[in-house]
Structure 1
Amino acid sequence: MGAKTGLLVYSDGEAPGLLRRVGSSEVARTVDVMRRLYPGGEFETCEGGELWDGLYPPKGMAYAASWPGVEIVGDQRVMIDFPSRLAEHLVTASAGRRLVLHAMHSVVDWLAFAVWDDGRLLRSLSLSPDSGIIENIGELLPFERPYWAGEHPVDVIPWPDEDEEPYPLPFHPLELGEAALRALCGFVLEGRPDPDDIDASAIVLHGFRVRDPSRS
């Protein structure tokens, strides 16, 4: 698995259903979102990309799109070990709406995700095989339960003449990460898509170079 994500999704309800109906995103509408989510930041538009390739932009960049009822932002800045500590203004921007954070990094098999409704944190999870469970807040979401119940164990193939330690988690974080993407956002990056999955290559995000003046 080679997927990496740093994703925020704001939606008026469940994001998958809303994203299935989106068309082209207006630049002006998306710029308004950027101004709200990056207060005091300086940014300029640049070439964007498709959703499947826009969830892990280069540092200093963000990919974003806005439609009626749903907004997406891809930015490495939201890849934090403790999702519950997401910047307050980003959570406040979800007042009256649902907010999903999804972050994973294939190099270290790390996954983090969180869900807020009207600014109230419902669920936050962050874990990796090296660090263990970093954060685990709230009740399990339905798509998680089979993983924690041991229905998706990791097959560890030992090297010849070596004893392999058991995998330190009951599932592979990136496998749960794909399940979280499907359940919370309606698409996957790797693995076999389901017939009703959103085609992430058909959704185009606008590109932005972002600079924080306080770090100039």
Structure 2
Amino acid sequence: MAFNDTLVVYSDGNPIDVLRACPVLDKPATRGLAQRLFPGATLREIGDELLADALDPPRDVAYVGCFTGLDLVCSWALTPQRPSELSHGVLEAAGRRQVLLHAAHSDAGWCSFGLWRDGALVRSLSVCTGPGVLEDKGAPLPFEAGDDPVADPGLADRSLQGLIGFSRAGHDRLDDVDPELIPLVAYRIIG
């Protein structure tokens, strides 16, 4: 199944546990996080969206959700080609202990994910069918299988499942996060 996604998730604990609990959106906090992520830009609130429909946002839109113990944002403007290039401002924007990055673009055969704990990069992988491995730092995570991540067609979906708790390829498990129950606020980024 072809899909694109970009997510940055900030959490104090296990983000999957927070998202499984269908957390309540803190709408005022979303604006504060959006302002920290896009300093100097004009942010116009343009409505609400569910996480399931926000994973591949237009280039000038950011979807932001702030909840007790977790914040998340979907925005291509924040997504570097290599996870280790995620800006310090983005890493520090929410002030939480753990930061997760997941991005995939099926047309390019690209998958990228990163994990930081207490400000230190724990794992970073970026692979693309064209040039191959763009970045590979840290020990592989449990969902990574095989020796050649470039030739692994299921890596993007398995990493989304392993890091965030749901799959886009229809391999729904009983304990999956339901992205259709996670509300976000949409902001158009101007300037």
Give the Å deviation of 1:176. 1.0
Equivalent position SS for 2:89: helix
Say if 2:17 is the partner of 1:7: no
Give the counterpart letter for 1:193 in structure 2.
D
Give the counterpart letter for 1:39 in structure 2.
P
Separation (CA, whole Å) in 1 of partners of 2:96 and 2:61: 28
Separation (CA, whole Å) in 1 of partners of 2:27 and 2:74: 15
Q: Alignment partner for residue 194 of structure 1, among 170, 173, 177?
A: 173
Separation (CA, whole Å) in 2 of partners of 1:96 and 1:24: 18
Separation (CA, whole Å) in 1 of partners of 2:131 and 2:79: 15
Aligned to 2:152: 171
Separation (CA, whole Å) in 1 of partners of 2:184 and 2:94: 20
Separation (CA, whole Å) in 1 of partners of 2:127 and 2:13: 27
Aligned to 1:20: 20
**What is the aligned-residue identity percentage?**
33
Separation (CA, whole Å) in 2 of partners of 1:169 and 1:91: 26
Give the counterpart letter for 2:179 in structure 1.
A
Give the Å deviation of 1:92. 2.4
Kept after mapping to 1: 8 A contact 2:5/2:103: yes
Separation (CA, whole Å) in 2 of partners of 1:88 and 1:185: 22
Kept after mapping to 1: 8 A contact 2:23/2:68: no
Give the Å deviation of 1:98. 0.5
Kept after mapping to 2: 8 A contact 1:46/1:207: yes
Q: How does 1:128-147 map to 2 (within 5 A)?
A: 128-144=128-144, 147=145
More strand by share: 2
Give the Å deviation of 1:88. 1.4
Q: How does 1:114-129 map to 2 (within 5 A)?
A: 114-129=114-129
Separation (CA, whole Å) in 2 of partners of 1:118 and 1:58: 31
- Of the structure 1 ranges 66-75 and 189-198, higher mean CA displacement relative to structure 2 is found in 189-198
Equivalent position SS for 1:143: coil
Say if 2:88 is the partner of 1:50: no
Aligned to 1:148: 146
Give the Å deviation of 1:23. 3.2
User: Unaligned regions of 5+ residues in structure 1, if any?
Assistant: 151-167
How many residue pairs get aligned? The number is 191
Kept after mapping to 2: 8 A contact 1:78/1:103: no
Give the Å deviation of 1:169. 3.3
Give the Å deviation of 1:95. 4.5
Equivalent position SS for 2:169: coil
Equivalent position SS for 1:114: strand
User: Unaligned regions of 5+ residues in structure 2, if any?
Assistant: none
Kept after mapping to 2: 8 A contact 1:96/1:117: no
Aligned to 2:164: 185
Aligned to 1:153: none
User: TM-score, structure 1 length as denominator?
Assistant: 0.83
Give the Å deviation of 1:105. 0.4
Equivalent position SS for 1:23: coil
Give the counterpart letter for 1:44 in structure 2.
R
Which of the two has higher C-alpha Rg?
1
